[in-house]
Structure 1
């Protein structure tokens, strides 16, 4: 009996004590893969440090880069995703452990005799399956890290898009306020002219109607800005006083996209972490199918040791083996299930690759058109409207144009500025989409 127990203990030390990559090391590898600064909050102290970092970043005007930094350390939905590394790590550790031996003790009495029996059972083949389980667990662990990395990059994209929308909505609301001042000036002037008998009532009503519509547009702009900022607050994971931040005013540059999407498609297949994760799932399914095929007739083998002692008799020891007979179940279901999972993983990878290529082409086309539109606004429409306003100003100073024409051209320039803001925002969002679709900046 002592030999059996010692053998079991030695086996546990040999197979259960193998080194396993720590959760911290795995998380650092995610850092290196996505090339972003990440924090995995596990303790109140770490949470406090994150809060301090967030407050420090929000004390100055918020830009897109710092918005992404805040989201990656403070977004609790993303923190939930980090825990998938911990779950996969626990599964890997468990895969390296041998099943516990089963101890038994029974007492029998009758006919003036008393019998006590001590037994121990050990799933012997568990020793052979441990390396196979560890191999599967390692593949699953690597897949979890890739999946978490992909979620990080998705969060980067979402944060960039949400920040662009919030800042743009804030700037448009400010521009609408400036336009409203112009409409208000027109309305006040019209009232004075109407009172003096120099303006028909119909013209007064038209100007007042335009002023009312301008007020409505300003209200809608502020409503949209509030909604967009709240969406950004959600992504950043902030609330309370932390939501009273301001936006930076750095100019967003326009960079011409690549002429063709074909090189980007190849880059995406090489770089996308969700594709890498799908490859790991296919590898897992293939390995699982092979294991099921090789172990279908011998999946359980139990080594037993019994020691029985009856009154007046010497102790009787028994060593035995239990093995299932493959009569009814020869593993058909296991093999079929494993093969189906392999086929499913294969089709999943193929479909994902097709979809990724399509996503790259679609994102590239969106960026190309967004770039052309934003450049047209900046280099043509804004310049033309600025020139028109300058010329109208000269005519006004020479008393060749009235105040209404000057105010109208000011409003036209404001509308052009709003169009340029919206076009630039679409360009920035399309850039974020293509960056994620390719897996790196295009």
Structure 2
């Protein structure tokens, strides 16, 4: 090998870092699913800039999209995933560089004689197989990028769901307080009328029981609101800033038109992260199969130069070549195993695609059912309840009904508002689950990481076994 060729090989073998820890692809995949980009807290990230953005987001009631952004830029568990990506890149750079030569020195003295052995050994097969090995290391690093993207999308969707729960629980607590005011008024009125002999004692006892039950429900609603808020705080990664978190008073109104199912299945096949990861694993296994076939016959091939020097004698120089012969294993086991892994990867890809289409159809059916139910509550039942209340008030003003009937109607209207809120919450949760189905990640962020590890584990393992 000439000096220029050797220099070119050494320069080619010096793998370098990407400069951003591999976050560009993670950001692209995350933005395709969530419409927002995550941010890794690397060495070049200003903590002051991150905190300034956090304070800006918390300066006003936090919306759903802002909750997703907040989780993507500061949630500690997600940042730990990004740190794993940086570690994986360091391992990729290390594996992508040419093997170091080995120098051996020996000294033997006695009887007035001194013998010195020196040798320089190069892993020739490692140098020859460097392009293929570098490709394997690259695919392993890409796998970790997929896992980071799945974790980011899963965390964003988890933050959105936690936001829906927190706003709905807060709104339910307010409705429960209104119902409590109605119950208190009814109980006081029933007590006064019972003392005057205008209503039987049974009516008073019923109103008193309703007041007590409502008070217990209010305490539970308050606890539910606090618990939902804390779940949101964890999903957003808030700590010292948790006290500054404020939420809107109401969930967003229903969209005028629901999403369309048309092309949803094809969009899932084209865009879902789990489908793309399965394809990535199959392609990596196919490339690994080619590498296994190329190297299965020769297991160890090393070349080197050595010299031997003894005092008073001329220096002896020569070359050394070590070759492991496949006398007992001709590589058939590795070839057969690689082919089986490739077929397994293809079947797994087909299974993931099948499940993707089915999951999208199931999630859309739940989404559309929740949308229709919420529409009935918001556009039919609530307006109908309002018309009934208006009619009851007219009757009360005309002295056709008493105050008890008016309070009963107020209770019914408050309960109807609670049912409408529950339907609205169910719709927005179904919408978040549909987004998860379209993105190809589980609804919970913890499950998303497990999914990525399962889908991508086989390709790196087989690639590592190939050389």
Mapped to 2, the partners of 1:279 and 1:412 lie a distance apart of: 55
- Alignment-derived partner of residue 34 in structure 1: 30
Aligned length: 435
Shift of 1:265: 0.7
Mapped to 2, the partners of 1:236 and 1:215 lie a distance apart of: 32
- Alignment-derived partner of residue 168 in structure 2: 168
| Per-residue Cα deviation, 1:195-248 (whole angstroms, up to 9, x for no partner) | 222222111111100111111111111111111111111100112442342212
- Residue 198 of structure 2 aligns to a residue in which SS? coil
Mapped to 2, the partners of 1:240 and 1:313 lie a distance apart of: 77
Gaps spanning 5+ residues in structure 2: where?
441-467
- Alignment-derived partner of residue 185 in structure 1: 185
Q: Tell me if the contact between 1:54 and 1:70 (Cα under 8 Å) persists in the aligned partners.
A: yes
- Alignment-derived partner of residue 201 in structure 1: 201
Mapped to 2, the partners of 1:21 and 1:253 lie a distance apart of: 47
Task: Give the 3 Å change call, closer, same or farther, for CA 361–45 of structure 1 in structure 2.
Answer: closer
Q: Tell me if the contact between 1:233 and 1:243 (Cα under 8 Å) persists in the aligned partners.
A: no
Matches within 5 A, 1:63-74: 63-74=63-74
Mapped to 2, the partners of 1:266 and 1:317 lie a distance apart of: 67
Q: Tell me if the contact between 2:63 and 2:248 (Cα under 8 Å) persists in the aligned partners.
A: yes
- Alignment-derived partner of residue 115 in structure 2: 115
- Alignment-derived partner of residue 274 in structure 2: 274
- Alignment-derived partner of residue 292 in structure 2: 292
Shift of 1:393: 0.5
Matches within 5 A, 1:336-415: 336-415=336-415
Gaps spanning 5+ residues in structure 1: where?
none
| Per-residue Cα deviation, 1:414-433 (whole angstroms, up to 9, x for no partner) | 11111111111111111122
Task: Give the 3 Å change call, closer, same or farther, for CA 281–382 of structure 1 in structure 2.
Answer: same
Task: Give the 3 Å change call, closer, same or farther, for CA 7–96 of structure 1 in structure 2.
Answer: farther
Mapped to 1, the partners of 2:240 and 2:180 lie a distance apart of: 31
Shift of 1:284: 1.0
Residue 15, structure 1, aligned to residue 16, structure 2: no
Mapped to 2, the partners of 1:270 and 1:47 lie a distance apart of: 37
Q: Tell me if the contact between 1:23 and 1:86 (Cα under 8 Å) persists in the aligned partners.
A: no
TM-score w.r.t. the length of structure 1 is 0.92
- Alignment-derived partner of residue 445 in structure 2: none
- Residue 108 of structure 2 aligns to a residue in which SS? strand
Mapped to 1, the partners of 2:44 and 2:229 lie a distance apart of: 28
TM-score w.r.t. the length of structure 2 is 0.87
Q: Tell me if the contact between 2:30 and 2:38 (Cα under 8 Å) persists in the aligned partners.
A: no
Shift of 1:411: 1.4
Mapped to 1, the partners of 2:155 and 2:65 lie a distance apart of: 13
Aligned-residue CA RMSD (Å)? 2.3
Q: Tell me if the contact between 1:15 and 1:130 (Cα under 8 Å) persists in the aligned partners.
A: no
